[in-house]
């Protein structure tokens, strides 16, 4: 049974909260505050209960060294605006100066520690770094679902040293995704896209026992099209994964699952904003050209399947959405998912970014804050940081 922040008496206590403020920065400002906003319910709950909230997060991958442009000052400023109260940002995450600042906190105060990954001990799950973090608090709340599949000092190490519970965001993620994994409404449709087949083949195999219909697009699809003997031009193909792709399709057939691949694509001579997009049938991509989006015929079929679904899981864009001429397929399917009567889940990552950019997030039942963690849970894999929170 998952313990949550509601199970602890937090009033007057120092509470270390692992958040996921790994947000994009642009010119010293937060470019997308979705992950910050997702943490607000837990932070507000703690403040309302009179706790002293010590927030900890990583940002990007500084690899154990201080990188000035990856400091969390812009995050603190945006968090202060969203909470409409002062958030004190410290210049480190552990050490005597941090401990002194924390000791002076009053109930209702909020401190944001510096980027955890400025210390090598964070990703190494170093016991000494975990102990240094644990010394700051009486209690630990893990609200960083996006890192739940990682075994790091700030989520696993600290949880072994302090009374540890899940935050409200973590609770919601696990509740919704566990329901989709264990008791989905059928037909269960999985939309699988993204750039690389290497990243998705394992996901496909693990979902076979649950999913009725697989809609495969993006760069992932071209490995499967190549397996069928079709010409894929210069499209992304994971040659090393072709055997696994073939085995997946064969196993899906044996289980009675449907696997749909693109019938047409938008192709171009190069990956460029200036490149001309031409719609062609799969297998007829001109020599030297590459497929960069699903075509309109494919989008229509995918939309039809989505409309008939009881549960929809989508992970990975269906084209090179970064370029305006190659977002049409992803956009068409996204609009269908937003309008679908079935239960809809977006598996975090780039798909969540696209849904947000298209203004459709409010029409999706659940947009996960953790791409890798979301897929781990749905695939039935262990989430180390969640295991530490079980009663």
Asked if 188 and 336 sit in the same domain, the reply is yes
| Tens digits of residue pLDDT in 2-52 | 999 999 999 999 999 999 999 999 999 999 999 999 999 999 999 999 999
Peptide bond into 187 cis (omega under 30): yes
The mean pLDDT of 281-309, rounded to a whole number, is: 96
Residue 241 lies in a domain: yes
Write down the pLDDT at residue 59.
Answer: 98
Residue 178 lies in a domain: no
Write down the pLDDT at residue 349.
Answer: 86
Write down the pLDDT at residue 390.
Answer: 78
Q: Give the whole-number percent of the chain exceeding pLDDT 70.
A: 100
| Owning domain of residue 21 | 5-170
Instruction: Assign residue 61 the CATH number of its domain.
Output: 3.40.50.1260
| Tens digits of residue pLDDT in 162-175 | 999 999 999 999 99
Asked if 162 and 188 sit in the same domain, the reply is no
Q: Is 305 a catalytic residue?
A: no
Question: Over the range 315-353, which residues count as b (16 or more CB within 10 Å of their CB) and which as e?
Answer: bbbbbbbebebbbbbbbbbbbbbbebebbbbbbbbbbbb
Write down the pLDDT at residue 270.
Answer: 92
The answer, yes or no, to whether residue 183 has pLDDT greater than 60, is yes
- From the list 3, 34, 181, 196, the catalytic residue is 196
The mean pLDDT of 100-129, rounded to a whole number, is: 98
Helix 168-182 / helix 34-48 crossing angle, nearest 10 deg: 120
Asked if 195 and 122 sit in the same domain, the reply is no
Q: What is the pTM of this model?
A: 0.91
Residue 268 lies in a domain: yes
**Confidence band of 150 (pLDDT split at 50, 70, 90):** very high
Asked if 163 and 189 sit in the same domain, the reply is no
Residue 33 lies in a domain: yes
Query: Which of 140, 170, 200 corresponds to the end of one domain?
Result: 170
The answer, yes or no, to whether residue 197 has pLDDT greater than 90, is no
- From the list 219, 295, 347, 372, the catalytic residue is 372
Q: Is 349 a catalytic residue?
A: yes
Query: Which of 123, 139, 170 corresponds to the end of one domain?
Result: 170
Asked if 281 and 343 sit in the same domain, the reply is yes
Q: What is the mean pLDDT of the chain?
A: 95
Residue 179 lies in a domain: no
Radius of gyration of the chain (CA): 22
d(CA 52, CA 308): 48
DSSP state of 94: S
Query: Which of 144, 170, 196 corresponds to the end of one domain?
Result: 170
d(CA 285, CA 268): 9
Asked if 197 and 77 sit in the same domain, the reply is no
Tokens representing 276 are: 């001309």
Residue 336 lies in a domain: yes
Neighbours of 151 (CB within 10 A): 18
Asked if 211 and 94 sit in the same domain, the reply is no
Write down the pLDDT at residue 391.
Answer: 57
Asked if 164 and 194 sit in the same domain, the reply is no
Residue 60 lies in a domain: yes
Asked if 262 and 160 sit in the same domain, the reply is no
- From the list 146, 349, 370, 371, the catalytic residue is 349
**Confidence band of 204 (pLDDT split at 50, 70, 90):** very high
Sign of CA dihedral 106, 112, 117, 123: positive
Asked if 224 and 261 sit in the same domain, the reply is yes
The answer, yes or no, to whether residue 57 has pLDDT greater than 70, is yes
Residue 96 lies in a domain: yes
Q: Is 196 a catalytic residue?
A: yes
d(CA 78, CA 74): 6
Asked if 101 and 215 sit in the same domain, the reply is no
Q: How many domains does the chain have?
A: 2
The answer, yes or no, to whether residue 339 has pLDDT greater than 60, is yes
- From the list 35, 52, 172, 226, the catalytic residue is 35
**Confidence band of 371 (pLDDT split at 50, 70, 90):** confident
| Tens digits of residue pLDDT in 210-251 | 999 999 999 999 999 999 999 999 999 999 999 999 999 999
Write down the pLDDT at residue 120.
Answer: 97
Which residues make beta-bridge pairs with 322? none
**Confidence band of 199 (pLDDT split at 50, 70, 90):** confident
Q: Is 34 a catalytic residue?
A: no
Asked if 188 and 157 sit in the same domain, the reply is no
């Amino acid at each position: 049974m998952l313990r949550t922040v509601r199970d602890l008496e937090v009033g007057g206590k120092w509470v270390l909260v692992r958040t996921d403020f790994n947000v994009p920065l642009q010119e010293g400002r937060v470019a997308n505050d979705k992950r910050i906003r997702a943490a607000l319910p837990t932070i507000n709950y703690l403040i309302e209960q009179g706790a002293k909230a010590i927030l900890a997060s990583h940002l990007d991958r500084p690899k154990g060294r201080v990188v000035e442009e990856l400091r969390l000052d812009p995050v603190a400023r945006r968090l202060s605006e969203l909470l409409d109260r002062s958030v004190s940002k410290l210049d480190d995450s552990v050490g005597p100066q941090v401990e002194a600042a924390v000791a002076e906190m009053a109930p209702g105060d909020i401190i944001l520690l510096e980027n955890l990954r400025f210390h090598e001990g964070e990703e190494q799950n170093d016991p000494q770094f975990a102990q240094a973090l644990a010394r700051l608090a009486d209690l630990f709340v893990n609200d960083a679902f996006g890192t739940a599949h990682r075994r790091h000092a700030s989520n696993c190490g600290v949880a072994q040293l302090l009374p540890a519970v899940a935050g409200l965001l973590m609770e919601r993620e696990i509740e919704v995704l566990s329901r989709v994994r264990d008791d989905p409404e059928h037909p269960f449709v999985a939309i699988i896209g993204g750039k690389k087949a290497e990243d998705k083949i394992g996901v496909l195999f693990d979902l076979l026992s649950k999913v009725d219909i697989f809609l495969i697009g993006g760069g992932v699809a071209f490995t499967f099209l190549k397996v069928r003997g079709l010409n894929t031009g210069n499209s992304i193909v994971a040659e090393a994964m072709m055997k696994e792709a073939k085995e997946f399709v064969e196993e899906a057939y044996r289980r009675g699952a449907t696997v749909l691949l693109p019938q047409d694509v938008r192709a171009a001579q190069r990956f460029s904003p200036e490149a001309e997009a031409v719609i062609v049938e799969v297998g007829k991509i001109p020599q030297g050209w590459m497929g960069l989006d699903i075509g309109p015929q494919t989008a229509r079929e995918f939309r039809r399947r989505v409309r008939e679904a009881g549960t929809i899981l989508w992970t990975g864009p269906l084209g090179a959405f970064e370029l305006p001429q190659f977002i049409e397929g992803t956009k068409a399917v996204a609009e269908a998912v937003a309008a679908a009567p079935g239960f809809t889940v977006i598996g975090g990552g780039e798909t969540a970014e696209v849904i947000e950019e298209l203004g459709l997030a409010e029409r999706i039942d659940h947009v996960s804050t953790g791409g890798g963690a979301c897929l781990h849970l749905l695939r039935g894999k262990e989430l180390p940081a969640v295991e530490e929170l079980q009663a």
